[in-house]
């Protein structure tokens, strides 16, 4: 089977997302995230090219500027300020979680073959495979990490997965909705980043596994 270019790009972004899982070094995580999002921006642009829906070019630029560039930059500065370099890691070790993530890629291939109603032949639904794998990766990232900043990255990866799924299945939503979503993500990250400062200030750490006192 021959891959379409946009499917190949979607796979590249899925692979970069899985590579995020492999290390607990936060800055490396962010650069992998940035590469991953760039690949998603490229997917969007390529779909725009195929379907001739020009507003998707704008969305691609928006994804690139906001998600691939400014969010990592902002989070990087947060890391620098709160002075935390690596994540403690929880439950399973980072290498192992990366291998599980890689297996999830195979699993999502199987799943997307089974789901009825998706675009494309059951054998070649690589776009939805990639999207689903990114979704799983994000969940895995949030599950296996301890530092709050990794939770933010995990959330962003999940969001990317959902976005990729929408883009590959519907070939783009109206521009206004896309832009609204992008801004919303940006604001959410900003808020989460600012929250981090306060968490760090009041608890001296950003370990979410120890933030268990908010029950009841």
Residues contributing to the site for another protein (CB under 8 A):
1-3, 8, 11, 15, 18-19, 22-24, 93-96, 98-99, 101-103, 105-106, 109, 123
Indicate the residue among 123 and 204 with the shorter CB distance to another protein: 123
The token duo for 72 is 């990592």
Indicate the residue among 103 and 177 with the shorter CB distance to another protein: 103
Query: Least distance from C-beta 187 to another protein, angstroms?
Result: 33
Indicate the residue among 8 and 186 with the shorter CB distance to another protein: 8
Burial class (CB in 10 A: 0-12, 13-18, 19+), 121: exposed
Query: Least distance from C-beta 102 to another protein, angstroms?
Result: 4
> How far is 43 from 152, CA to CA, in rounded Å?
23
Query: Least distance from C-beta 184 to another protein, angstroms?
Result: 32
Indicate the residue among 49 and 124 with the shorter CB distance to another protein: 124
Indicate the residue among 98 and 192 with the shorter CB distance to another protein: 98
Three-state SS string across 146-159, please?
A: CEHHHHHHHHHHHH
The token duo for 4 is 């379409």
Query: Least distance from C-beta 68 to another protein, angstroms?
Result: 21
Query: Least distance from C-beta 24 to another protein, angstroms?
Result: 8
Indicate the residue among 85 and 174 with the shorter CB distance to another protein: 85
Nearest to 90 by CA among 154, 144, 17, 171: 144
Query: Least distance from C-beta 2 to another protein, angstroms?
Result: 7
């Amino acid at each position: 089977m021959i891959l379409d270019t946009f499917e190949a790009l979607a796979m590249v972004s899925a692979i970069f997302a899985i590579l995020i899982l492999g290390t607990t070094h936060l800055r490396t995580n962010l650069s992998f995230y940035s590469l991953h999002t760039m690949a998603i921006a490229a997917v969007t642009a390529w779909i725009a090219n195929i379907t001739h829906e020009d507003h998707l070019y704008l969305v691609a630029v928006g994804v690139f500027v906001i998600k691939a560039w400014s969010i990592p930059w902002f989070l990087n500065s947060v890391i620098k300020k709160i002075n935390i370099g690596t994540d403690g890691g929880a439950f399973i070790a980072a290498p192992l979680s990366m291998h599980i993530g890689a297996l999830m890629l195979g699993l999502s291939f199987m799943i997307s073959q089974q789901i009825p109603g998706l675009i494309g032949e059951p054998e070649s639904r690589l776009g939805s495979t990639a999207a689903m794998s990114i979704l799983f990766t994000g969940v895995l990232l949030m599950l296996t990490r301890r530092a709050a900043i990794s939770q933010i990255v995990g959330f962003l990866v999940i969001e990317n997965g959902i976005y990729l799924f929408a883009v590959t299945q519907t070939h783009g939503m109206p521009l206004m909705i896309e832009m609204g979503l992008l801004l919303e993500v940006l604001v959410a990250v900003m808020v989460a980043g600012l929250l981090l400062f306060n968490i760090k200030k009041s608890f001296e750490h950003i370990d979410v596994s120890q933030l268990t006192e908010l029950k009841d």
